[in-house]
Structure 1
Amino acid sequence: MEFTRYAIFYTPAPGPLADFGARWLGWDATTGQMPPPSDIPNLPMAWQEITETPRKYGFHGTFKPPFRLKEGETEEQLRCAIAKFCALQRVVTLDRMELAQLGRFLALVPTGDTRRLSAFAADIVRAFDKFRAPLTDEELNRRRKHSLSPRQDKLLQTWGYPYVMDEFRFHLTLSGKLPKAKTTRLRSILEPILTPLLTDPLVVDALCLMGEGPDEKMRLIERFMLSE
């Protein structure tokens, strides 16, 4: 399959949490399949509406946001660069994750000290920016519709995305932007389902190279394990 954009994500290891995320969003980016949707009653909105925005990306945490390849760079060169990078990186282990309401959407976020994870994310952004094609005027304008701060706009111009470096906040998105009351209601429904799945530490032991297909859905190209 030919991909229009690439990204570097964290995806949970196979298991109950990964299974929940794939079923909840309705897209498993690691298998490239649509699993049966979760049957959760009393949702505040239609499930399809709640998950429409994050669905195409799959259940993930972003390290290097989606980008087009720069002219002269190839997918194989990108794969080789990620393999070499990961061979020199140690596993990052943090406290467990928790369900959080981030303004008008829900996500899983890590608890405790996240400075090492943030530094790791910044290293990833820097290491692979040479593969990123510059943003077009259309792409810049689309991003600027979201009321960016001066710092975020500077990051957008430098790295192609406004929420990197000191603006980075690691999270696994579970919904699109919803009315706040509905977001609060959804959190109360998902919390008892997710809490038993969030007892273990967050272990980032691999980077996932993802590709965006013609259907605009992200798919796993390869999982690269970090050094122990």
Structure 2
Amino acid sequence: MRYAICFTPTPSDPLTLVAANWLGRNVYSGEIVEPPRIRGLGIHEVAFHTALPRRYGFHAVLKAPFRLADPTSEPALLRDLMRYAGTLTPFELPPLEIAKLGNVFGLVPSYPSTALNYLAAALVQEFDRFRAPLSEAEIDCSDPDGLSAPQFTNLHRWGCAHVMDEFRFQMLLTGPVGPADMSRMEQVLHDFFGPVLAEPVAVTNVALMMEEGSGGPFRVHSLHPMGKVSARKIA
């Protein structure tokens, strides 16, 4: 079983609901959602192109999936994450936009966010004590030969290549898309997600996500509100 610390909007956020409809699975309940009928894209094409992000659920990774180190435990992780989240200040992300990320599509901020980068780096460092060392198989899966020198260093120091200066916030919407389908998929995504991408995104919680079994889908285990309780009540 693995855990990850992530950002995902609240259960009732319109973006959460639209993403669940697109991916075919609700990241909170784990329930399967009927695939949408989209003009210009067949229902089986949607299911095929969303298979990879459907397993991981709608989220952006802040601390990559990890197995718990001995002698840590889930209750200790929950306690410390709840405590630490209370020390963080909520903030807003710039509006998200559809982006090509190599041969996949995802949502990224329309411009950089210093607060976001700080949050990701802080969580990676603060909770590294809960992370078991990577196995040789896990290192091989990260394609170490294809990493830059900073990414390779990150992989061995923090268990993930894409942290610190290499961190990029992204909420994946597809798996690999072939060149012939790129333009069509991009237009479909703009049409489907456009209505919920106009406003800034509130970052008021961090989510602990949990893998169901070994290699199973991820779902939200718990949301941890940022900021002191008194401040949240006033807000």
Q: TM-score, normalised by structure 2?
A: 0.91
Give structure 1 stretches of 5+ with no counterpart.
none
Map residues 151-170 of structure 1 onto 2, 5 A cutoff.
151-170=150-169
Residues 220, 146 of structure 1: alpha-carbon distance in 2 compared, 3 angstrom cutoff: farther
Map residues 44-55 of structure 1 onto 2, 5 A cutoff.
46-55=45-54
Counterpart-to-counterpart distance in 2, 1:187 and 1:101 = 8
Are 2:79 and 1:114 equivalent residues in the alignment? no
For residues 33-76 of structure 1, the C-alpha deviation after alignment (integer angstroms, 9 at most, x for no partner) is 11111221322871222011111111111111110000111000
Check conservation: 1:106, 1:183, Cα contact below 8 A: no
Query: What SS does structure 2 have at the residue aligned with 1:35?
Result: coil
Counterpart-to-counterpart distance in 2, 1:185 and 1:202 = 26
Query: What SS does structure 2 have at the residue aligned with 1:220?
Result: strand
Counterpart-to-counterpart distance in 2, 1:42 and 1:93 = 34
Counterpart-to-counterpart distance in 2, 1:145 and 1:46 = 32
- Map of 2:225 onto structure 1: 225
Are 2:32 and 1:34 equivalent residues in the alignment? yes
Letter in 2 for 1:222: S
Map residues 1-228 of structure 1 onto 2, 5 A cutoff.
4-13=1-10, 14-43=12-41, 46-144=45-143, 147-214=146-213, 216-227=216-227, 228=232
Letter in 2 for 1:7: A
Counterpart-to-counterpart distance in 1, 2:145 and 2:35 = 31
Letter in 1 for 2:5: I
Check conservation: 1:110, 1:202, Cα contact below 8 A: no
Give structure 2 stretches of 5+ with no counterpart.
none
Number of aligned pairs? Answer: 225
Query: What SS does structure 1 have at the residue aligned with 2:100?
Result: strand
Check conservation: 1:7, 1:210, Cα contact below 8 A: yes
Letter in 2 for 1:8: I
Query: What SS does structure 2 have at the residue aligned with 1:73?
Result: coil
Counterpart-to-counterpart distance in 2, 1:164 and 1:122 = 7
- Aligned-pair CA distance for 1:183: 2.4
Check conservation: 1:103, 1:180, Cα contact below 8 A: no
Residues 146, 37 of structure 1: alpha-carbon distance in 2 compared, 3 angstrom cutoff: farther
Check conservation: 1:65, 1:161, Cα contact below 8 A: yes
**What percent identity do the matched residue pairs reach?**
34
Counterpart-to-counterpart distance in 1, 2:13 and 2:204 = 15
Counterpart-to-counterpart distance in 2, 1:60 and 1:194 = 15
Counterpart-to-counterpart distance in 1, 2:36 and 2:74 = 34
Letter in 2 for 1:26: G
Check conservation: 1:29, 1:58, Cα contact below 8 A: yes
Residues 146, 20 of structure 1: alpha-carbon distance in 2 compared, 3 angstrom cutoff: farther
Q: TM-score, normalised by structure 1?
A: 0.93
- Aligned-pair CA distance for 1:146: 6.9
Letter in 2 for 1:204: V
Letter in 2 for 1:82: L
Check conservation: 2:85, 2:226, Cα contact below 8 A: yes
Letter in 2 for 1:102: L
CA RMSD of aligned residues (A): 1.6
